Amino acid sequence: MKVTTFGVVGSGQMGNGIAQVAASSGLNVVMSDIKEEFAARGLAAIENNLARSVAKGKISADEKDEILGRIKITTNLEDMAAVDYVVEAAVEREDLKFNIFRELDKICPAHVILGTNTSSIPIGRIAAQTSRPEKVIGMHFMNPVPVMKLVEVIKGIATSEQTFDITWELCEKFGKTPAEANDFPGFIANRILMPMINEAIFCLYQSVGKAEDIDTVMKLGMNHPMGPLALADLIGLDTCLAIMETLYDGFKDSKYRPCPLLRKYVEAGWLGRKSGRGFYTY
């Protein structure tokens, strides 16, 4: 199956990043969101990213215009009937993703692959919401999408080899390096990363160190480019909590228990960079 038109459901930080790399690779893109203002904001973020690339000499002004010309925004999920492959990039809520997949299954022709950018929810559970589980797959991009090279590709128990191969080739077309993960909660990336972030939050909670010192230890002692608390703020503390809860529910192991301080921050609306306040103030 040849993919020429690519759909993205959700125009937030991850969704607009995925739309940008897809359009930059030459595909026509349909990016949807529930409100026009959200979709317009996503398109503006893409335009800003591309303008920075022009300023740095990475692409020409004409190339920027060509990429933007390949992106259509919409608030009507029915427009996904025109795509060959769609990736859902909504917030990390199981009920919301299930509803989107049930709708996409009705809207999209039978040949269309339904991908999900979920960072932790098992693919098999999402695939079970559709009549085409063999065409459902995890395509987990890293943040920020235009910069980060990795895409985790996750097969559910029913995902076909053809679906996997097409997804793998798409990742390479986007200039990414795919890595295969099996369908367990959190897959590879977040099964390792999130408990580390959670433990850093416990260190703050128990006054083992201040936020700046915890991040300095990990940056200078372990050569991480960003400290775990600053990274949590970038990811979004609500997303971190949702992933920890998925790990805890999925494995029933106390080592995945979300730190109470993480829950307290999320309940207070301190979600990190996107809210202006998390472990740091922005």
Question: 123-172: per-residue pLDDT in tens?
Answer: 999 999 999 999 999 999 998 999 999 999 999 999 999 999 999 999 99
pLDDT at position 1: 84
120 lies in the same domain as 243: no
d(CA 97, CA 31): 16
Is 36 in the active site?
Answer: no
Residue 13 labelled as part of a binding site? yes
**Domain identity same for 84 and 167:** yes
Number of domains in the chain: 2
Query: What would the pLDDT profile of 77-131 be if each residue is shown by its tens digit?
Result: 999 999 999 999 999 999 999 999 999 999 999 999 999 999 999 999 999 999 9
**Is 10 labeled as ligand-binding?**
yes
> CA-to-CA distance for 216 and 220, rounded, in angstroms?
6
Q: Both 178 and 70 in a single domain?
A: yes
Is 280 contained in some domain?
no
CATH number where 142 lies: 3.40.50.720
Of 28, 53, 190, 198, which is the active-site residue? Answer: 190
> How far is CA 104 from each of CA 23, 24, 35, 173, rounded to the nearest angstrom?
21, 24, 18, 24
Does 54 fall in a domain? yes
Residue ending a domain, among 134, 155, 182, is 182
pLDDT above 90 as % of the chain: 98
Known binding residue 25? Answer is: no
Core vs surface per residue 75-95: b (16+ CB within 10 A) or e: eebebbeebbbbbbbbebebe
Joined together, the tokens standing for residue 131 give 């009549």
Give residue 206's domain range: 191-275
Residues 209, 226, single domain; the answer is yes
Catalytic residue among 24, 117, 152, 198: 152
Nearest to 176 by CA among 12, 10, 53, 20: 20
The CATH code of the domain that includes 210 is 1.10.1040.10
Q: Which of 119, 120, 198, 245 is catalytic?
A: 119
Residue 249 marked ligand-binding:
no
Catalytic-residue membership of 190: yes
Give the list of residues 6+ apart from residue 241 with CB closer than 8 angstroms, or none.
Answer: 258, 262, 263, 266
pLDDT on residue 256: 97
Is 264 annotated to bind ligand? no
**pLDDT level of residue 270 (50, 70, 90 thresholds):** very high
Residues 31 and 168 in one domain: yes
Same domain, 107 and 10: yes
**Does 61 share its domain with 94?**
yes
Q: Verify whether residue 267 is a known catalytic residue.
A: no
Residue 140 falls in the annotated catalytic set: yes
Is 65 labelled a binding residue?
Answer: no
* Same-domain pairing of 51 and 156: yes
Do 196 and 176 share a structural domain? no
Please tell me whether 72 is known to bind a ligand.
Answer: no
**Is 274 labelled a binding residue?**
yes
Instruction: Specify whether the CB–CB gap between 42 and 16 falls below 8 A.
Output: yes
Instruction: Report yes or no on 281 lying in a domain.
Output: no
Within a domain: 256: yes
What the block records as the tokens of 193 is: 């990363």
CB 185 within 8 A of CB 61: no
Residues 59 and 149 in one domain: yes
pTM attached to this predicted model = 0.90
Same domain, residue pair 175 and 199: no
Q: Consult the annotation and say whether 12 binds a ligand.
A: yes
